[in-house]
A and B are shown apart, each in its own frame.
Chain A
Amino acid sequence: MKKQTMYFRMIISSLIRRRSRMLVALLAVAIGATVLSGLVTIYYNIPRQMRQEFRSYGANLIFVPTGGDSAINEDEMKKATELIPAEDIVGIAPYRYETIKINEQPFMAAGTDLEQVKKTSPYWFVSGTWPAGSGSVLIGQEVADLIGLLPGSSFTMTGTDSTGKGFGRDFTVSGIVQTGGTEEAFLFLSLSDLEGLMGNSGELDVVECSISAPQATLEGIVRQVGENVEGVTPRLVKRVADSEGTVLTKLQALVYLVTVVVLLLTMICVATTMMAVVAERRREIGLKKALGASNQSIVMEFLGEGLFLGALGGLLGVALGFAFAQTVSMNVFTRSISFQPLLIPATLAVSIAITGLACLIPVRSTTDVDPAIVLRGE
């Protein structure tokens, strides 16, 4: 008991007596630990955060009816979407296409859930506003050019419903959509409006899903839906799903390599600083040896100091590193990141190991030296 108390007293007083040096060492360890925990947190969060960004490319999975002319009904859609993990869903937009006429010219009208379309197709450029409520439509640029409509103007939509009767209803243009693709020749209105016009429901032509998940998960969903839901054929949008995989792998590899290089260099920096701080205590070691201390007890004392510094610096680093990763995530992705509890022991272990090792190297070389020579200053 006595021996241990003395041991702790030696370590603590040595830390306090040499305050400025120890602060320098502590700072070095804390910086190393900050870089470690910050970069590793970012590295683990990148795929999740970037995947969210990649969702701006639009749907990566679509459901189409099995067989030629049939349609998906709402039950089938519900059953299929329930197989997708809820937390991965960015948006699910059902589409029903019907031919309608404006001024006796045929156009394609798409009935959909426009709130969901905003999420599945964030790249749509709408001049005007998105339709809110019944009676307003979004029209493609092509349509607008052809019949000369502007946001705010109204027109009559005519056609024949599912039973063969004619209909006519007035709609207001709320906005004009530009995509550079085929959507520019469509009209978009809410699904309930289109169903009201056509007089029947549950006739979806396609369901677009934007899912934030790696390709393996997507393929799993495709398999499950294909097996379990009749009447629905899931198809991966290869252009989006494949390319996302390629680019994401590269990005992650880049951050991984950068993390490894930065960590390596920071750890060496920490080690050299610790070595410099310890190496200047050759005289102290010599004096202790001259007073009869064994090599082992000297090593133990330095190790104790190192461990203490490592633990304290590591703790500081965990907190600072998380703060840094959070700042990066808020600035880059405007989303917060989850804390990885496993990082606390990992960072502590690494910083303790590095400081311990960095203390031992100079101490070892000094303990072999004859105390008389060290004390004389040679």
Chain B
Amino acid sequence: MFWRMVKGALFRQKGKMLMIAFTIALGASLATAMLNVMLDVGDKVNQELKTYGANINVMPKGASLLDDLYGVAEGSGVSDQYLKESELGNIKTIFWAFNIVDFTPYLDTKVKLNSQDGEVKLIGTWFQHHLDLPTGESLDTGMKNMKSWWDVSGQWLTDQDEASAMVGSLIAGRNDLQVGDTIEIEVGGQTKKLTVKSIFNAGSDEDEQIYVPLQIAQELTGRAGQISRVEVSALTTPDNELSRRAAQNIKSLSIKEYEIWYCTAYVSSICYQIEEVITDSVAKPIRQVAESEGAILEKTQLLMLLITILSLVGSALGISNLVTASVMERSREIGLLKAVGAHNSPISWLVLTEILVTAVVGGVVGYFAGLGFAQLIGHSVFGSAIEIKPLVIPLVAVLVALVTLAGSIPSIRLLLSLRPAEVLHGR
């Protein structure tokens, strides 16, 4: 009898119940979309921030950056330390291998250009290198991915180009070089002719440099299999108190703290793990990138969290409001039920069941619509799908249940307190 009454009520008031179900579906889809986007926004923005380039610099232990000081201090403090090219693949085998987005090795040397006085920097690197890992995976990595802000006129080099080079815009301007010209470089008595395949504008010191494939630089300098530094771009978690302590002194951590730190993608723990797999290396976070990424990531996540809360509270209030409005409307029906002798609790159950059945239907429809919304946002903003988190399902379910109950209980109580004779009389 109870179910027949519920069914009857649902079908008799088809239009009204559809409207409630529709609104609940909207609210649930909003909640689903916002929660999914919010939970994934960190990863997405992190990916976007990779356009700022590498956030970790790996160098040989004892190597000095003095060489970078506008070419001063040549000879003093500059040591002949190199990393092994063969160990590069190891970077993709560390605990946080999945967080390593790209990495590029460099071999720096100084050459004479077109037999002029003064030297320019020649850098051997990977442009787009295919690497087969011992784990059976393979990846393509190199500078082309990491220097997305370079303005290249002409074409990027490939690693197979034996006799071509990419020339920085400042060198090209000074020597009046065009794409297609031939340059002659001299290092340690050897000379080599290279074709200028492209000229790039990087807006930094790199504009004063010439880039060639790694093996060419290794041949010229006679340093087969050696590299002077590696730039790594990794997805990291913003620093907190623990990671700062670890960065200062790892030994100050307890075993448990050490494990937490090691198993979190802090930039310092990723650096530590890289040092473990590359012999005699020092991995340093590039603070300019690492620090700022953390700050922006935190702000974006907090912002999305607050917007999500606002929209959830907004739609929750909106739905409870509608439920209240539609329950109040049924004062006459409830009055009649009371007049024919129904007790308060069966009436409450009846109304509640009706609303909940409607809510479940609306919620399920809304969940799937929300997944659609989330993908729409993901594709139009980030150009990639938003990961669907199962965690969202219970959250949305609880939310819908709470909202409908919060909307219906006060109004049911109000209706039960009414006197049937007055209600039926229409006052």
Contacts and interface: CB of A to CB of B under 8 A. Distances in A.
The judgment on whether A and B are partners is yes
A238 interface: yes
A21 B325 contact: yes
Interface residues of A, number: 79
A265 B76 contact: no
B295 to A, nearest CB: 5
Interface stretch (A30-38, A73-81, A300-308): A30-38
A348 to B, nearest CB: 18
A254 to B, nearest CB: 5
A242 B51 CA distance: 9
Q: Is the interface of B mostly helix, strand, loop or mixed?
A: helix
B310 A324 contact: yes
A277 B326 CA distance: 8
Contacts of B295: 53, 56
B51 A243 contact: yes
Contact of B37 (A180, A182, A258): A258
B398 interface: no
Contact of A247 (B22, B49, B69): B49
A181 interface: yes
Contact of A238 (B22, B201, B287): B201
B149 A50 contact: no
A230 B228 CA distance: 40
Contacts of B288: 57-58, 121, 123, 179-181
A332 B292 contact: no
Contacts of B19: 272, 275-276
A142 B311 CA distance: 50
Interface in A230-271: 235-243, 246-247, 250-251, 253-255, 257-258, 261-262, 265-266, 268-270
Contacts of A179: 286-288
B249 to A, nearest CB: 12
Contacts of A257: 376-377, 380-381
B238 interface: no
Nearest to B22: A272
B318 A266 contact: yes
Nearest to B54: A180
B328 A21 contact: yes
A253 B381 contact: yes
A7 interface: no
Contact of B27 (A99, A184, A241, A265): A265
A331 B303 CA distance: 9
A237 to B, nearest CB: 5
Contact of A333 (B150, B299, B324, B376): B299
Interface string B357-384: 0000000000000000100110011100
B382 A250 contact: yes
Given A179-B287, A235-B203, A265-B30, A34 B314 contact: yes
Contacts of A280: 328-329
B208 to A, nearest CB: 12
Residue from A53, A125, A266 whose CB has the most chain B CB atoms within 10 Å: A266
Given A254-B377, A331-B302, A184 B318 contact: no
Interface stretch (B60-68, B180-188, B191-199, B343-351): B60-68
B41 interface: yes
A302 B66 CA distance: 80
A24 interface: yes
A72 interface: no
Contact of B311 (A21, A53, A57, A262): A262
Contact of B76 (A106, A236, A269): A106
A220 B121 CA distance: 32
Interface in B306-333: 306-307, 310-311, 314-315, 317-319, 321-322, 324-326, 328-329
A122 B150 CA distance: 25
Contacts of B140: none
B285 interface: yes
A146 interface: yes
A27 interface: yes
B392 interface: no
A296 B299 CA distance: 53
Contacts of A204: none
B103 to A, nearest CB: 16
B98 interface: no
Contacts of B162: none
B299 to A, nearest CB: 5
A247 B303 contact: no
A198 interface: no
A238 B204 contact: yes
Given A238-B149, A254-B41, A257-B381, A142 B48 contact: no
B220 interface: no
A238 B29 contact: no
A42 interface: yes
Contacts of B290: 180
Interface string A30-54: 0110110011001000100010011
B104 to A, nearest CB: 15
B266 to A, nearest CB: 14
A28 interface: yes
A108 interface: yes
Contacts of A242: 51, 149, 203
B149 A331 contact: no
A236 B302 CA distance: 31
Interface string B62-98: 0011101110110011000000000000000000000
Residue from B65, B326, B382 whose CB has the most chain A CB atoms within 10 Å: B65
B291 interface: yes
B57 interface: yes
Nearest to B311: A262
Interface string A108-127: 10000000000001111100
B52 interface: yes
Contacts of A265: 26-27, 29-30, 311, 315
B381 A254 contact: yes
A246 B148 CA distance: 11
B258 to A, nearest CB: 22
Interface of B: 16, 19, 22-23, 26-27, 29-30, 33-34, 37, 41, 45, 48-49, 51-53, 57, 64-66, 68-70, 72-73, 76-77, 148-151, 201-204, 284-292, 295-296, 299-300, 302-304, 306-307, 310-311, 314-315, 317-319, 321-322, 324-326, 328-329, 373, 376-377, 380-382, 414
Given A250-B382, A254-B37, 14 more contacts: A21-B328, A182-B68, A237-B203, A238-B150, A238-B201, A239-B52, A242-B149, A246-B51, A250-B45, A254-B381, A258-B34, A262-B307, A272-B22, A276-B325
Listed from nearest, the 9 A-B pairs whose CB atoms lie closest are A238-B203, A269-B318, A242-B149, A180-B286, A123-B291, A276-B325, A243-B51, A56-B292, A262-B311
5 contacts: A31-B314, A142-B65, A180-B287, A265-B30, A280-B329
Interface of A: 20-21, 24-25, 27-28, 31-32, 34-35, 38-39, 42, 46, 50, 53-54, 56-58, 97, 99, 105-108, 121-125, 142, 146, 178-182, 184-186, 235-243, 246-247, 250-251, 253-255, 257-258, 261-262, 265-266, 268-270, 272-273, 275-277, 279-280, 324, 327-328, 331-333
